[in-house]
Structure 1
Amino acid sequence: MKMRDLIGGAIAAILLGAGAASAAGPTLTVVQQTIADEKAVFATVESISVVPARARIGGTVIALKVREGDSVSRGQEIATIGDDKLTLQINSLDAQIQALQAQASQAQIDYDRTSGLVERGTLPRTKLDEARTALNVAENNLRAKTAERAVIQQQFKEGQVLAPDDGRVLKKMITVGSVVLQGDPIVTVAQQHYKLRLRVPERHARFLKAGDKIRVDGTEFGDHTAKFGTIDLVYPQIEDGRVVADATVEGLGQYFVGDRLRVWISGGERPAIVIPSRYITTQFGVDYVQLGEPGKSVAVPVQRGLDHPTPAMPDGLEILSGLRNGDKLVQP
């Protein structure tokens, strides 16, 4: 059995060497570099802030236009609150305004008639002053009632509950038909800009600082490409033996608030050899790279380590053994 394995490995090496000899892909010089010693931790998707959409007037909820999970934009109508007293007050003010309009019209007629009689010398000028005063009083009363009606109309419009910011509805506090007071919360809205909240064991606290890069596995996003983010804030207080930090990663808006993701952070630095995974071929469970020059390369077995993608090398892969600094690789 051992002899058979050796023969199979030799045949695989010959086949790989022959395939590499006919290939003329680009070459890569192996360079040992210092990389971050990544540690896996869990992070929670959290909103920057959760704000309530509150009622501006008291009354009865007559319409609710959102439900949990709906996306809303700033100023969007969420619910409508009705108050029968406001309708009655508007009807009363409309009637008073009509009466004051009639008084103002009559005062204008009296003023015009008195003005004509004064010009002909039939009435003294004091009568004209009295008519002008009565006209001013009637017009001012009409303007006051019109302004009062505008106030009630504005209160009627404030029955619309508006979204305070762009985000997603987390929870409804009321149902249609509920009686609410001024200032009562109707729904809570999580702002659309999400952050990752990391809780890192305190032994890694000395390696963690604002500005450090983090990596999220692509599988967490349903993709093969990893996503990268930046730590914005490291909180100075340790909670339950863990350091809390906030990080920004693009594309978190599609996640649920409270979702947990696996995140890789830097736990120090160490020397390593990282090459693109496209330079590696696998035959019979053994990984090989083509060592040499285009047209004359040999297959060399290597031992792969963990994936180590970076923004400059998205398919980066650490090589534990089989390569040395300065080796030249040929892409199969």
Structure 2
Amino acid sequence: MTRASALALILLLAVPVGLTACSEGHDKASVAAAPEAIGDILTVQTGEIDDVKRVAATLTTRDMGEAVARIGGVLVTLNVREGDTVTKGQVIGVVRDQRLNFEASAYEAVAIQAEADYNRTKGLYDKGIYAKARLEQAEAQYKSAKAQRSAAYELAGQGTVRAPASGKVIKAEIPAGSVVMPGQSIATVTAGPRIVRLTLPEQQARSLVLGQTVSLEANGIAATGTVSQVYPAIDNGQVVADITPQGLDDLLLGERVVTSLSLGQRQGIKVPATYVTTRYGLDYVRLVTADRKVSEVPVQTAPLDGQSVEILSGLKDGDTLAPYGAAQ
């Protein structure tokens, strides 16, 4: 055998050994790519979950008092601004109508004249000059003039605008010097405690229960509240409900509040949030196979209560999950 033939034979015998070594290394790498599940294994099951709805509401007060003008005229003075605190009956403005003052002065003159006529007639009646019928006629005219005078002064005095309730002025938009009409609102005053008022479709409102706990969120502030009243009337298919909040005292009246309230239960898959992770806008879970190997699968989720999420798609009953954060 020549030296070249011997070298070729050695190379041919060495090739299978190298290929076998490479194949074994690849198999070991494949096994290492599928880690085993470690931690609390969760079996997915469909069950009842709270049907939580997020509904926009408004922070307001239980009652609003309107300070209105009882007569027409010029608003000569306005003593309050938005944010001022007033007490019930406090004078907050004056409306003046000169015609009413002129009428009151005219009725005053008529009443004075009628009183003088009555006194003169009574004196002559006492002397036997006038008959009793003449005295009764003068007395009736005097009483009528006094009544007209009192009514005129009462009407002129209705220009004083008073606070309808104790509270805080939240609206006073009419400046002094403006002409106002009878019944026009001069200022709006809060009355009663703060509430969160919401409207719901009548089908959903049937699930509301007095005393039910509701989660609230407004302007970055999280709070809770309880359903304190559900109004019995339905307006255009909507039902109004009031929630008594705890922790929203620093907010301004009229701010929007997002309420999260349970409207019953429905069937769905609920898992703890620790079993779900989010990367690049996609949610993933660690699915455990029968041989306890773990693989990540994408799922579609919806938030529930901050500690759990609902699986909308990607899993079925009987699937097992491993939590994130456990040793791998």
With the length of structure 2 as denominator, give the TM-score of the two structures. 0.52
Letter paired with 2:139: E
| Deviation by residue 1:104-148 (Cα, 9 ceiling, x = unmatched) | 11111111111xxxxxxxxxxxx6xx4322211111111111000
- CA 1:153–1:36 in 2, change beyond 3 Å: closer, same or farther? same
- The counterpart of 1:104, out of the listed 118, 121, 130, is 118
Greater shift after overlay, 167-176 or 152-161? 167-176
1:32-181 mapped onto 2 (5 Å cutoff): 43-48=57-62, 50=64, 52-114=66-128, 130-181=130-181
* Conserved 8 A contact 2:227-2:243: yes
Task: State the alpha-carbon separation in 1 of the partners of residues 72 and 198 from structure 2.
Answer: 41
Matched, 1:233 2:230: yes
- CA 1:160–1:37 in 2, change beyond 3 Å: closer, same or farther? same
Q: CA deviation at 1:56?
A: 1.0
Q: CA deviation at 1:208?
A: 5.1
User: 1:30 maps to which residue?
Assistant: none
* Conserved 8 A contact 1:169-1:188: yes
Q: CA deviation at 1:194?
A: 3.1
Aligned length in residues: 224
- CA 1:89–1:253 in 2, change beyond 3 Å: closer, same or farther? farther
Greater shift after overlay, 60-69 or 205-214? 205-214
- The counterpart of 2:244, out of the listed 232, 244, 248, is 248
User: 2:209 maps to which residue?
Assistant: 210
Letter paired with 1:229: T
- CA 1:206–1:192 in 2, change beyond 3 Å: closer, same or farther? closer
Q: CA deviation at 1:237?
A: 9.3
- CA 1:137–1:215 in 2, change beyond 3 Å: closer, same or farther? same
* Conserved 8 A contact 2:218-2:258: no
- CA 1:206–1:244 in 2, change beyond 3 Å: closer, same or farther? closer
* Conserved 8 A contact 1:195-1:246: yes
Letter paired with 1:210: V
- CA 1:132–1:47 in 2, change beyond 3 Å: closer, same or farther? same
Task: State the alpha-carbon separation in 1 of the partners of residues 64 and 55 from structure 2.
Answer: 25
Greater shift after overlay, 261-270 or 135-144? 261-270
Q: Alignment RMSD, CA only?
A: 4.5
Task: State the alpha-carbon separation in 2 of the partners of residues 138 and 207 from structure 1.
Answer: 70
- CA 1:152–1:37 in 2, change beyond 3 Å: closer, same or farther? same
Identity of aligned residues (%): 29
Task: State the alpha-carbon separation in 2 of the partners of residues 206 and 152 from structure 1.
Answer: 52
Task: State the alpha-carbon separation in 2 of the partners of residues 98 and 167 from structure 1.
Answer: 44
Q: CA deviation at 1:217?
A: 7.6
Q: CA deviation at 1:185?
A: 2.4
Q: Which protein has the larger Cα radius of gyration, Structure 1 or Structure 2?
A: 2
Task: State the alpha-carbon separation in 2 of the partners of residues 90 and 206 from structure 1.
Answer: 56
- CA 1:55–1:227 in 2, change beyond 3 Å: closer, same or farther? same
- CA 1:95–1:89 in 2, change beyond 3 Å: closer, same or farther? same
SS at the partner of 1:107? helix
Gaps of 5+ in 1: 1-33, 115-126, 273-304, 308-320, 322-332
* Conserved 8 A contact 1:73-1:165: yes
* Conserved 8 A contact 1:214-1:231: no
- CA 1:251–1:157 in 2, change beyond 3 Å: closer, same or farther? farther
Q: CA deviation at 1:271?
A: 11
* Conserved 8 A contact 1:72-1:168: yes
User: 2:279 maps to which residue?
Assistant: none
SS at the partner of 1:192? strand
